Amino acid sequence: MTRHQLIVGALYAVPLIFLALFFFYPLLAILIISFAPEGVPDLRALYKLVSSGYYLRTLGFTVWQAALSTLLTVVLALPGAYIFARYRFRGKWLLQALTTIPFVLPTVVVANAFTALLGPQGRLNLILMALLGRSEPVIDLQHTIWIILAAHVFYNYAVVLRIVSSFWSNLSPRVEEAARMLGARPLAVWWHVTLPLLMPALAASGLLVFIFCFTSFGVILILGGPRFATLEVEIYRQTVNYFNLPVAAALSLIQIVFTFGLMWLYTQLQRRSSVPLEMRAVAQTQRRPASWRARILVGVNVLAMITGLLLPLLALVERSFTLGGNLTLRYYAELFVNRRDSLLYVPPIQAVLNSLSFAVVTMFLALTLGTLGAAMLARTTRSKSGQKLQSLLDPLLMLPLGTSAVTLGFGFIVALDKPPLNLRASPLLMPLAHTLVAFPFVVRSLLPALRGIKPSLREAAIVLGATPWRVWREVVLPITGRALLVGAVFAFTISMGEFGATALIARPQLPTLPVAIFRFLGQPGLLNYGQALAMSTLLMLVCTVGMLAIERFRVGGVGEF
């Protein structure tokens, strides 16, 4: 083995070592505390879960609300996926970016936006009360299952929209045209031709939405109130409120089993959706809406998307400036004030600066690990053993994406509090947790671009005398530069909004923006709520700029997110 091969092998091992230390080791610690909390085998915590009706109901509610949320999201996103797949229209890239904003928003911001729109004193209720002359809220969805379902659809709509429309746009319409020529009615064409062709993409996107809803945390915690609890919320309560680590570990173990199984199934479905049937270039399958029916179809869907996805965000922004009745900048000005009775040890603006600094560190860590991981998966290999290894490594690098953030945070608490990895009091713990969540997005953003590079380009550079590092610097990086920027923006944005793991491991003197928002929401008073709205608006602005940048940097829709 040459020196170059040794160096390359060592570099490729870096993301695997990172996963071993900060993903599998914390999960192993959860297993140990589940089965042997005092160092000896003890299954009482697991038996308590199985024998307790409360925990069984919690698991049942977790599965039920995730299934119903997934069904609603898929059904409501299909019309939008159709117009994105089959039509070209002005402002399409901007609409695609705007519809993706909710997906990258922190759950605390999503919950805040829905409260600002549909809460007892939300904008919609205030308008209806004024119109109907009533003094009580007309729509009372606070702490009901309906507002949870609406928030989940809002949050995951873009997942189905992007995955299904991307797959649909490359399907040849000739099969549908042939069925219509043979006399099939539109409904029969949809049921017997289009739907079976779309099923791999529908199943993959639906399963991904189910995973996100199954591990839902901020939406349930804030909008559901004390009446509703998913496994994720119960892990948080058992850890923070009751410090019952064995039960929290047992709940985490159940969630790990579910999410790992679902993630494995997702990778299988994703592989099926990448098998070509009869594919065509987007330029051949998309057209401008020429007929009046097509224009109405596109117009109604665009209006529905803008209304359903942007109205809660606009209500959030408007309430941050008008809470209390008059137009005011008071709540933004208060972010710079360190009051004695404040919930934080520092001025609220410090939470913004903390989030920015953590996001910058996360971006560099995720870019480094994600680039190495994507290069490892994109490497051309002719041996069967090498191909089999790559097929195993691909879902392995995706595992953090399907794992509960609260479970990861809990694993950090129990595993990283003693030598040789005593990081419990270290500020580095936060960006490490954020990197675990973010670097799979970098891998999926970069991998298609790396696989799209023709081997002949690298071979020509090597023949001309370029070293492997020069090939990377002067051939690979210029081609993949925009995909790297997409991955960097993804990592930065995800770190800014990460809440699940951060809620468990954040130090009191180093609050992040989502944690500060959650603390202010939990306290009474107009000032606290106004500051939460102001911080949510700032965080939403960062995510919006990030998604617009991603759509601008993305090359021809390349990337899996």
pLDDT at 275 over 50: no
Find tokens 């468990």 and name the residue.
504
- For residue 200, give the amino acid letter: P
Contact between 89 and 142 (Cβ < 8 Å): no
Per-residue burial over 158-182, b = 16 or more CB atoms within 10 Å of its CB, e = otherwise: bbbbbbbbbbbbbbebeebeebeee
Query: How far lies 546's CA from each of 179, 531, 552, in Å?
Result: 43, 23, 10
Confidence class for position 415, pLDDT limits 50, 70, 90: confident
pLDDT of res. 238: 81
Name the percent of the chain lying above pLDDT 90: 9
pTM passes above 0.75:
yes
What is the distance between the alpha carbons of residues 365 and 435, in angstroms, rounded to a whole number? Answer: 6
Mean pLDDT taken over the chain: 79
Domain regions of the chain by residue span: 43-322, 328-409+423-561
Domain 43-322 and domain 328-409+423-561 have a common topology: yes
Q: If 0-12 CB within 10 Å is exposed, 13-18 middle and 19+ buried, where does residue 54 land?
A: exposed
pLDDT 10s digits, 28-60: 888 787 777 776 777 776 677 767 778 888 888
Q: What is the DSSP letter of 287?
A: B
Token digits for 99?
């519809």
Average pLDDT over residues 314-341: 84
What is the distance between the alpha carbons of residues 473 and 466, in angstroms, rounded to a whole number? Answer: 10
Pick from 125-129, 277-281, 420-424: least confident: 277-281
Confidence class for position 67, pLDDT limits 50, 70, 90: very high
CA 109 to chain centre: 13
Contact between 561 and 441 (Cβ < 8 Å): yes
What is the distance between the alpha carbons of residues 449 and 481, in angstroms, rounded to a whole number? Answer: 9
Q: Which fold has domain 43-322?
A: MetI-like fold (1.10.3720)
Token digits for 402?
């399907």
pLDDT 10s digits, 422-470: 887 788 889 999 999 888 888 888 887 777 777 666 667 766 677 767 7
Find tokens 């990448």 and name the residue.
274
What is the distance between the alpha carbons of residues 182 and 234, in angstroms, rounded to a whole number? Answer: 56
Phi, psi at 329, each rounded to 5°? -105, 15
pLDDT at 267 over 80: no
What is the distance between the alpha carbons of residues 207 and 201, in angstroms, rounded to a whole number? Answer: 10
pLDDT at 493 over 70: yes
pLDDT at 279 over 70: no
Average pLDDT over residues 238-259: 77
pLDDT of res. 173: 67
Phi, psi at 87, each rounded to 5°? -130, 150
In this structure, the number of other CB atoms found within 10 A of the CB of residue 270 comes to: 21
Phi, psi at 38, each rounded to 5°? -110, 15
pLDDT at 377 over 90: no
Q: State whether the Cα torsion 551-552-554-557 is positive or negative.
A: positive
In this structure, the number of other CB atoms found within 10 A of the CB of residue 474 comes to: 11
Token digits for 100?
């993706």
What is the distance between the alpha carbons of residues 304 and 427, in angstroms, rounded to a whole number? Answer: 43
What is the distance between the alpha carbons of residues 431 and 412, in angstroms, rounded to a whole number? Answer: 12
List the alpha helices (DSSP H) in 87-215.
92-104, 107-118, 123-132, 145-169, 174-181, 186-189, 195-214
pLDDT 10s digits, 517-547: 888 887 778 888 888 889 989 888 888 888 7
pLDDT at 71 over 90: yes
Q: How many angstroms separate the most distant Cα atoms in the chain?
A: 82
Q: What is the DSSP letter of 241?
A: I
Confidence class for position 343, pLDDT limits 50, 70, 90: low
pLDDT of res. 177: 64
Considering the domain delimited by 328-409+423-561, tell me its CATH architecture.
Orthogonal Bundle (1.10)
What is the distance between the alpha carbons of residues 484 and 482, in angstroms, rounded to a whole number? Answer: 5
